[in-house]
Structure 1
Amino acid sequence: MAEVHGACRAAGLGIAASELHGSLCGWLAGGGADGPGWLNRVLVDDSVPEPAAALEQLHLASVAQLEDRSFAFELLLPDADASLYDRSAALFEWCRGFLGGFGLAAGAAPPLSDEGREALADIARLAAASPQEGGDQEDEAALVEIEEFVRVAVLLLHGDCALGPRHRQRLN
């Protein structure tokens, strides 16, 4: 996470590592094109320089994890030793980034299943949330459950909008 954060700052992106990862994953889950120029498309900015090695590694790992049939996809969030406030703030930033990237790639009427529509609405609610100071073990457990929900929701949306259309093309 620190490498990605440093690469974002060095490139002057003005976006946190978690939000960038969310944007990238949203773009990919929405069926966005993978390949050179991905950072420009995800950030909707043609002036962004070529991604540093850490950002390119993030891109390649994200593509591989989303395509992995063993559901190895992970959100780029602070480690468990960070405060509950910081981790929840990063999760909400991740969700905001995801919505932006997903909307750019999938457009106004993505081919979503009923479950996919529900999952996207839930991610939108999380994106609108704000972290709260304090917290206890119950809040810690809830955050872990929410992170898992988001992880599975992203895989579902990727299946609806990226994998599904790709498989339909192969059948035709």
Structure 2
Amino acid sequence: MSEIELPDLTAIEAESRQLALAASPFELHGALCGWLAGGGGSVREWPAKVLADDALPAPVEGGALDELRKASAAQLADRSFDFALLLPESDASLAERSGALFEWCRGFLGGFGLAAGARPRLSEEGTEALGDLAKLAGAQAQADGDEEDEEALVEIEEFVRVAVLLLHGDCVLAAQHRQKLN
């Protein structure tokens, strides 16, 4: 597990309801991570940015959504690859977990597109990873499955995690590196 832990899912859900956010916690975290990976700033009013609704209030400083932003930004910036996706616990049903993962990917694509723009500077691997995330975002939750389906979901989660780190590297770390060279 990561040294930098994400806040508790129930706290995130509660604060999301308080702010009347129209996205699930999974889609919201995906959008936040897409925004950050695409080069968007780690700002307290991030829900307004990632959900493209300037009327949304900023989360309470130190609250679950503010901590989610801080932890996600720190995980992405950390070189130890400890980035974690906000998803249901492993004892949740396959349908619940796969559905949440696909929601996460949908949110990621939206946030990434808002931050990175129409033509981000991506490596060949980054372009391929973004296309694969788009396919996952269009997938439907699996109703039930066997051990093989469980293993496949774990592999897909790991793929998404690595794809996000790759895209963050292309859009944020490479841009920082280019700035240092100039």
TM-score interval for Structure 1 and Structure 2 normalised by the shorter chain: over 0.9
Q: Does 1:42 align with 2:69?
A: no
Q: CA deviation at 1:35?
A: 2.1
For 2:100, give the aligned amino acid. A
| Residue number in structure 2 paired with 1:135 | 145
Aligned residues: 172
% identical aligned pairs:
63
Among 103, 108, 127, the residue aligned to 2:113: 103
Gaps of 5+ in 2: 1-8
Match of 2:66, SS state, is helix
Contact map agreement 2:35 2:111 (CA 8 A) in 1:
yes
| Residue number in structure 2 paired with 1:26 | 34
| Whole-angstrom distance in 2 between the partners of 1:84 and 1:37 | 33
Contact map agreement 2:45 2:57 (CA 8 A) in 1:
no
Q: Deviations over 1:2-40 (max 9, x none)?
A: 111111111110210000000000000001122242221
Match of 2:160, SS state, is helix
| Whole-angstrom distance in 1 between the partners of 2:44 and 2:58 | 9
For 1:98, give the aligned amino acid. F
| Residue number in structure 2 paired with 1:8 | 16
| Whole-angstrom distance in 2 between the partners of 1:50 and 1:72 | 27
Two-structure CA RMSD over aligned residues (Å) = 0.8
For 1:133, give the aligned amino acid. A
| Whole-angstrom distance in 2 between the partners of 1:5 and 1:145 | 26
Among 45, 70, 74, the residue aligned to 1:64: 74
Match of 1:131, SS state, is coil
Match of 2:172, SS state, is helix
| Residue number in structure 1 paired with 2:89 | 79
Q: Deviations over 1:110-141 (max 9, x none)?
A: 00000000000000000000012110110000
Mean alpha-carbon deviation: is it higher for 46-55 or for 102-111? 46-55
| Whole-angstrom distance in 2 between the partners of 1:96 and 1:107 | 16
Q: Does 1:149 align with 2:176?
A: no
| Whole-angstrom distance in 2 between the partners of 1:131 and 1:19 | 14
Task: Pick the structure with more helix per residue.
Answer: 1
| Residue number in structure 1 paired with 2:6 | none
TM-score where L is the length of structure 2: 0.92
Q: Displaced runs of 4+ in structure 1, greater than 3 A?
A: none
